[in-house]
Structure 1
Amino acid sequence: MKLLEKHAIPILILCLLVPAAVPYPITGYLATVLMLAFIVINKKSLVFILFIYFPARPLFMELNGGLTYSGDLIIVLLFLSLLMERFKKKNWSFSTYHFTMPFWLFCLIGTMAALITGVGILPILFELRALLITFLLLYIIGELNLERKDIFLFLKATLVFTIILCLHGLIEKIFSRTILLPHEWEMWNLSSANRMRIYGASANPNVFALYLSIQLFFSFFLYRSLKKSKVLVFLASILIFGTLLLTYSRGTMIAFGLAALIFVLWTKNKSFLIYSLGAFGLGLLLVYYPVIFASSKVELSAAVPLDNLMIGSNPTSDHEQALSSRFSEMFSDKILHQSTEWGRLYVVFKGVEIFKEHPVIGTGLATFGDSATLSFPSPIYGEYKIGERMYTDNQYIQILVQTGLLGFGAVLTFILLACRKIKASGHGTFAAFTGCLLLAALTAGLFYNILEDKTFTVIFYSCLGFILQKDIILKD
């Protein structure tokens, strides 16, 4: 047992890698069962594996369907295990988690409204899972006896994993999604603008960009805390920043750019500003432009026969201008027109129309542009002439439409109470980072359904859990 506990992390990583290499569902199921056994061996390592699993979950699922619900099962059983332990010892501190009650109220309002609207039980449960499965990590982390060394072990291991994801993404970019990707992903029919973006193991450039942005913060904490390997950590941050730029994720760059600025002003940490600017500049010079150049050369060499090329096209020039054009075209007449016709503005206008008719508790979960409506038909789409598989990409309008003013008020109350918890925690720089992570989420909510993004919420709720711990020393 002690041997398993000592080597828990390598064993758990193998539990993910072996099923990915042996793509039979039975291997995924067996690996999941083995991982769940670590609940009685080493809970901390089992939490760590979630930071590996969720950022690459789409890839793991594609390679082996038996890994689809591994993360969900780990979280649920960890939560139930800790709940039973605390009840036996009668030492669960309920008052610590009072601030989370409004979020549960939001889910309850959405459920009641959905039942009134006529949504089936299965779609409601599907959406509740999307909202709550990672939310349980707040309680799990809050109750685990973590030490400072555990946190830095997580940071070191996830940094190594992030480097691997970045290298995989750069290969995807250079070879135009033709190698090291599942065949189904290679066959995706992407627009020319999206084909230039790195999708990564997350299968989504915006999700990947959110993950990389957080890892830049984490790399700074490591850089400042480690006595050795500072150069290696900084080199990793250069790689991460260069890869982040190649996702061309405008919303993420705006959200985390604002968060980084607030972090500098909040902590008055000039070293973070210098670190970030250095990583940005070198990432642009040493990763972004070289990868674009290599990608263009590969694209040109593969463009045979000649008539497949557009006359007067210049792949290198197109790639180089992609980043600047992504931002410059945000408010162009063409983009605004497209957005109004079928894009984000269309979703907002349609959402306001529905909200006016259901202002109190909304239409309910699984009714308007959430993850459940991508798998189950919404009962209101026919009435409001909404096309199937519409996704809001705006957390605010989704909350307003599905839960009305009451649900929106509940979420706002949770956010305010969470801010108070963060401020009162006394955890210094880490508290500031968690607050800035919340700010980034509030900004990103304008562009994404951030509450359904497992990669982001796993990290955010875990950080809130760390904040709740009084014994752990996180303050500088």
Structure 2
Amino acid sequence: MPIPWRKLYFVFVALALFFIGAALDNTVIDLLIMLFFAGYAIAKPKNSLLILFTYFPIRPFLLEFNPALKGIGDIIIFALLFRVLLMYRKDLKKLFQFYWFEYAFFGFLIVGAVSAYLTGVSLTAIIFQIRGFLLFYLVFYIARRLHITKEDINKFILTTLIMTFLICIHGMVEKLSLRGVFLPQSWQDMPLSATNRIRIYGMTGNPNVLAYYLSFSIIIIMYFRNRFTGKWLWLTYISLACLFGVWSLTYSRGTWIAFALALAIYVVVARKWNFLKPLLISLAAGVILIAVPVSIGTSIVENTDFGKEKKEKQSQYDDSEGSFKDRLGSTIDKETREQSSQSGRIWIVSKGFEIYLDHPIIGTGFATFGDGATLSYDSPIYDDYGIEREFFSDNQYIQIITQTGAVGVILFAIFLLNMLYHIWKKRNETLLGPVLLAVLLAAYAAGMVYNIWEGDSFTIFYFAMLGYLLNMRPEHEYDL
């Protein structure tokens, strides 16, 4: 790797500050950390953009210790935006050059906000939800306007490797300790069903989020692997094996399907399959050398006094045994289908269409049905429709249909399809084109089971890579 480790000082400084802030939970220290990151973003914008890839994957973990750290990402992004505005202050035209998908996205946000206001949603809740959608679009806006060099790309690769090792090692410790070590107490005491106790949640706090974060890490390492030679090449494959081991232990069925779909799309579009051999070897190595030993080790720990005590605490919700077979079998068994129709995904979709039929034009607005804001703020429509619990829709499309109606659906469709059009145009110019094409089409499918466009770990990678693609120069190309 043609870059000395000392040039990654900012990654280690950022991680140190994150963990110091989480451990001390002191208002003055929190303020100083925020001011440091704001100032550093203005002084070193490209390094600060990379710091976002160290912060957001572990943000849920940090916030369990110190909720005041939740503003770090926002501060860095808005400081970067300020720096970009300064950079282009003498060329304002470039600040207002937008693609059609950007205009559609702005329109979608306006419709959701106006509809929410008319429904009676508080201004705070509306801003909260707009922030969830807008923040990572700003990463695209910023990345598209920065001058990215080969050195910046190398820093990005190594930053991804560092965070991947950190998150994977933590995940294996979590699994082997039965969620008893290096986790917030609230996570240690969380009651889990049998099929969820076998899963690694990681520092993301969610096995599905962890799975698609690791999926992006796999894509990045594979795409840039030809940058590695000699001992660095071994680091690549060790990283991939470690990744696949933890990735398989998330038991994230939806992510596995989306990843396989993206893989198939890439092969068809790029007409390249030479990467399949090292990828499959890494997958097999990860399962055999990481996943299986960790699972066996976990079974041994479960039979100790410590393990029996932990299992008793965690099985308050369900004291049955869980296994890989049970996890996959629960996808289609009769009991799962009945639960889904009564309170799960089928019920959510059915209830969403019921609300949509009463508000077909612009919907009920943001912060009214199954989005991030409804988990923090009361929805004004839940009582009217007999909804007695907070929930994530786990389906991006029913959320958009319900909250923004026909107008929002059209605008969001333009947003998705116009991005696809611009990526498609790049498919023969750079291999990153087919990669992102596959990622976007897989995201279309993932949107049926996740709120994918609200997920930090997906959107920060996707929008940063899209901004880089649309700002890419020939000298940046690498072979996959």
Bucket of the pairwise TM-score, normalised by the shorter protein: over 0.9
CA shift at 1:74, angstroms?
0.9
2: CA distance between counterparts of 1:195 and 1:128?
34
Unaligned runs of 5+ in 2: 1-5, 313-319
Matched residues in 2 for 1:147 and 1:16: separation? Answer: 27
User: Which letter maps to 2:389?
Assistant: E
Counterpart of 1:13 in 2: which secondary structure? Answer: helix
Which deviations, in whole Å up to 9, do the C-alpha atoms of 1:60-99 show, x marking residues without a partner?
1122233111001111121132123313333515335343
Mapping of residues 103-122 of structure 1, within 5 Å: 103-122=105-124
Distance 2:408 2:108 in 1: 5
Counterparts in 2 of 1:235 and 1:5: CA distance versus 1, 3 Å: closer
Does structure 1 retain, via aligned residues, the 8 Å contact 2:423–2:437?
A: yes
The DSSP-based 3-state class of the residue aligned with 1:384 is coil
Distance 2:338 2:364 in 1: 28
Q: Does 1:264 align with 2:267?
A: yes
User: Which residue in the other structure is 2:188 paired with?
Assistant: 186
Give distance in 2, aligned partners of 1:304 and 1:217: 36
Residue number in structure 1 paired with 2:158:
156
Check the 8 A contact 1:25/1:64 in 2, yes or no: no
Match of 1:246 among 237, 249, 252: 249
Residue 285 of structure 1: aligned partner: 288
For 1:314, the equivalent position in structure 2 comes to none
Do 1:5 and 1:41's aligned partners in 2 also have CA atoms closer than 8 Å?
no
1:297 lines up with 2:293 in the alignment:
no
Counterpart of 1:198, as a letter, is I
For residues 57 and 163 of structure 1, the distance between their equivalents in structure 2, rounded to whole angstroms, comes to: 16
Q: CA deviation at 1:214?
A: 0.9
Asked if structure 2 preserves the Cα contact closer than 8 Å seen for 1:118 and 1:379, the reply is yes
Match of 1:102 in 2: 104
Q: Which residue is equivalent to 1:50?
A: 52
Give the aligned residue type for 2:416. Answer: I
Q: Matched residues in 2 for 1:341 and 1:371: separation? A: 22
* Aligned-partner SS, 2:42: coil
Query: Could you tell me how far apart the structure 1 residues matched to 2:8 and 2:271 are?
Result: 40
What code does the residue aligned with 2:332 have?
F
Residue in 1 that maps onto 2:357: 356
> In the TM superposition, what is the alpha-carbon distance from 1:303 to its structure 2 partner?
6.3
Which stretch of the first structure deviates more once superposed, 68-77 or 215-224?
A: 215-224
What is the CA-CA distance between 1:370 and the residue it aligns to? 0.5
TM-score, normalised via structure 1 length: 0.92
Kept in 2, the 8 Å contact 1:25–1:65? The answer is no
CA shift digits 1:266-297 (9 cap, x unpaired)? 22222221122112211111111111100000
Query: Structure 1: which amino acid aligns with 2:52?
Result: L
Q: Which residue of 2 aligns with 1:378?
A: 379
Superposed CA offset, 1:174-207 (max 9, x none): 1110111111211112222212211110111111
Specify the SS of the correspondent of 2:304: helix
> 1:313 matched to which residue of 2?
none
Cα distance between partner residues in 1 of 2:399 and 2:345 = 12
Residues 360/230 of structure 1: CA separation in 2 closer, same or farther (3 Å cut): same
What's 1:452 paired with?
454
Mapped contact 1:82–1:140 kept (Cα < 8 A)? yes
For residue 92 of structure 1, give the secondary structure of its aligned residue in structure 2. helix
Shift, 1:7, TM fit: 4.6
Query: In 2 relative to 1, CA 134–304 (structure 1 residues): closer, same or farther, beyond 3 Å?
Result: closer
Change (3 A) 1:303 1:19: closer
3-state SS of 2:112 partner: helix
Q: CA deviation at 1:410?
A: 0.6
Contact 2:258 2:446 in 1 (8 A): yes
SS of the aligned residue for 1:39 comes to helix
Residue 84 (structure 2) aligned to one of 82, 86, 90: 82
Structure 2 CA distance for aligned equivalents of residues 173 and 267 of structure 1: 37
The number of residue pairs the alignment matches comes to 463
Contact 2:112 2:408 in 1 (8 A): yes
* CA distance 1:262–1:388, shift in 2 (3 Å): same
- The verdict on how the C-alpha distance between 1:224 and 1:324 changes in structure 2, with shifts beyond 3 A counting, is farther
% identical equivalent positions: 34
What is the CA distance between 1:26 and its match in structure 2? 2.9
1:469 pairs with one of 462, 468, 471: 471
Shift of 1:18: 2.5
Whole-angstrom distance in 2 between the partners of 1:318 and 1:282: 27
* Structure 2 Cα separation of the partners of residues 187 and 409 of structure 1: 44
Q: Following the alignment from structure 2 to structure 1, what is the Cα–Cα distance between the partners of residues 256 and 156?
A: 25
Contact 1:19 1:28 (8 Å CA) reproduced: yes
Whether the aligned pair in 2 keeps the contact of 1:28 and 1:65 (CA below 8 Å) is no
Q: What is the alpha-carbon distance in structure 2 between the residues aligned to residue 112 and residue 438 of structure 1? A: 28
Aligned match of 1:275? 278
Letter in 2 for 1:175: S
* Aligned residue among 223, 226, 232 for 1:224: 226
